Structure 1
Amino acid sequence: MIIKKKLNNNAIITKNNQNQEIIVVGKGIGYGKDTNNLIDENKIYKTFVPENKGEKKRILDMISQIPVQYIEISEKIISYARRKYELILNESVYIALTDHISSSLDRYHEGIFLRNKFQWEIKHFYPNEFDIGLKGLEIIKEECGIELKEDEAGFIGMHIVSSEVGQSMDDFYVMTRFIQQMTNIVKYHFSIEFDEESLDYYRFITHLKFFWHRISRNRENTMGSLENEILEVIKNKRVNAYLCALKIKQFIEEKYKYELGNEEILYLTIHISRITKNIPEEE
């Protein structure tokens, strides 16, 4: 690769094999180099391919304002997320996460500590993403010698969740609130506390995440005759779970103006039945 523009000692603008303008980052990649010089591609640890001028500006601002070490930390966190959990993340997570890490470390040096009001929800609704956040704290400690509080693991997890769904942090808050509402309906209907370590609970929360995506995009589901037959069987076998699913249906239609079809009621009933399977049906 040939340098088209040197941004600083750790970042340059060049072109890839498809003749696209790209921004590459690596420690010392531009040191002692000038325009039209070859770069050592072994030093590259992150490549940005801006999709538009706005994204390019955000990347350039990040590179000019934030220590390259923080970009490398973000890369390690995101690589861990992709490697361990096979997550598909929006590339914009690099900017958001790097900016957050920079702000967190700035606050640390100023003695400012922010509590994460969604810490409990992150731990219980997004355990994989919270684990990524904890790994992020380990990486920050290794790279910077700074031990941040666990609330920051929650913040990192929030950025990962936001990147997974391809939406903003505001959308994350709304989705988390939706999950709270759904789980509360089930809790109060059955007067139970969930086994939050169980696979059934994890599957239910995952279902609710995708359920919210459909509601937020107003996407309807179609249902075949086989699924209708299954619903008839399920609702007669697990009456209480079905009645709880109907409560959720009524709530969503009133609150979100989204009409649930039989397919969604079927899957809600199945998941509710699983997480309440130890409760006798007659109760």
Structure 2
Amino acid sequence: MITVKKVLNNNVIIAEHSQYDEIVLIGKGLGFGKKTGDEVAGQKAEKFFVLKDAQEQQQYINLLEYVDESFIEMMNDFIGKIEERFQTSLNEHIHVGLTDHLYFAIKRIKQGMDVKNPFGRETELAYPKEYAMATEIVEALNDKLNMKIPTGEIGFIALHIHSALSNRALNEINKHTMLVTELVNMIEDNLKITIDKQDMNYLRLVRHLHHTIDRVTSGNYMEEQDALKKVLQEEYPICYTLSWKLMRVMQQKLQKPVPDAESVYLTLHIQRLYNKI
């Protein structure tokens, strides 16, 4: 049995569920005329999700106080399409995080303000599927709202999608993206080069750095490569030394040990870029 706990608006209610405890139910007209304690037919709901964390539930309630129902409905459609595309359930926090982000982003854009995204290209390279989905969302918003959303927003949306897919906090993903950019800048500064961001070797480097950070964070280390490490140290001393500098920065920022084997793979990636000069 599902009973109404609180009506948030005509289309959204918080309900008591025998299996999930409290759930958020979404459906056109679902909350109309309902009051606390009323039974509600779950099959009439177009979507339901669980916000177990009391703070997240309160954030969603606060969200509905300033975001109009048509925007909430549009965002729920987008979230449904993301789940359909990736064939998986998303972390439910996306209902709060992405809706809040896009509502205020659109408000800023209409007021003539624009927040630059310095990590757009790195985000596209690291999470291409999420970036493609975010591009479709921006195109749909442009069409529905008759406006032009800056391309920088695509990267922000992609990070929200990746956060919901991976069940990782958005601030953690942002920190890792910033770390990758810092490491790339270190390579350019140390080698006195400007990396072509369209170069396939740059794509490989960025993806490798993200994978390295993920491995270090999860403790899933790679096998040692002692023989190859000695060869690279002799053949490419500049790139090998730089790889260790990058590893020290990663270790400092992540507060976790970076295995020696990473020096081999980083040296090879750096050398490919160094060969371009």
Work out whether the TM-score is over 0.5.
yes
| Residue 262 of structure 1, CA deviation | 1.3
Q: CA deviation at 1:113?
A: 1.6
Alignment-derived partner of residue 113 in structure 2: 113
**In structure 1, how many angstroms separate the alpha carbons of the residues matched to 2:154 and 2:90?**
18
How much does 1:23 deviate? 0.8
Return the match for 1:261 from 259, 262, 271: 259
Q: Is 1:123 the equivalent of 2:125? A: no
Residue matched to 1:145: 146
The residue that corresponds to 2:12 in the other structure is: 11
Distance 1:86 1:262, change over 3 A: farther
Letter paired with 1:71: I
CA-CA distance at 1:54 after TM superposition:
1.7
- Please give the root-mean-square deviation of Cα atoms over the aligned residues, in Å: 3.7
Q: For the Cα contact (< 8 Å) 1:13–1:22, is it kept in 2?
A: yes
TM-score with structure 1 setting the length = 0.74
Partner amino acid, structure 2, of 1:263: A
Q: Which residue does 2:137 correspond to in 1?
A: 136
Q: Percent identity?
A: 22
CA–CA distance in 1 between the matches of 2:268 and 2:17? 49
Query: Residues 84 and 175 from structure 1, CA distance in 2 versus in 1: closer, same or farther, beyond 3 angstroms?
Result: same
Matched, 1:24 2:25: yes
- How has the CA–CA distance of structure 1 residues 28 and 88 changed in structure 2, closer, same or farther, with 3 Å as cutoff? closer
The one-letter amino acid of 1:132's match is M
Unaligned runs of 5+ in 1: none
Q: TM-score, normalised by structure 2?
A: 0.75
Q: Name the CA distance, whole Å, in 1 between partners of 2:238 and 2:94.
A: 42
Label 1:98 to 1:223 Cα distance change in 2 as closer, same or farther (>3 A): closer
- Post-superposition shift, 1:268? 1.9
Runs of at least 4 residues of structure 1 off by over 4 A?
A: 32-35, 79-89, 161-165, 219-225, 232-241, 250-259
1:74 is aligned to 75
Unaligned runs of 5+ in 2: none
Report deviation, 1:73: 3.2
In structure 1, distance between residues paired with 2:85 and 2:239: 34
Count of residue correspondences = 270
Report the Cα offset of residue 99 of structure 1: 0.9
Partner of 1:36: 38
Distance 1:149 1:195 in 2: 20
State the alpha-carbon separation in 2 of the partners of residues 190 and 19 from structure 1. 57
Report the Cα offset of residue 105 of structure 1. 3.2
Give the Cα separation in 2 of the matches to 1:203 and 1:246: 19
Cα pair 1:231 1:266 within 8 Å, conserved: yes
Amino acid at match of 1:4: V
User: Does structure 1 retain, via aligned residues, the 8 Å contact 2:3–2:17?
Assistant: no
Give the partner amino acid of 1:28.
G
Secondary structure, counterpart of 1:113 in structure 2: coil
**Which amino acid is the alignment partner of residue 122 of structure 1?**
G
Q: 1:41 corresponds to which letter in structure 2? A: Q
Taking a change above 3 Å as real, the CA distance of residues 125 and 10 of structure 1, as seen in their structure-2 partners, is closer
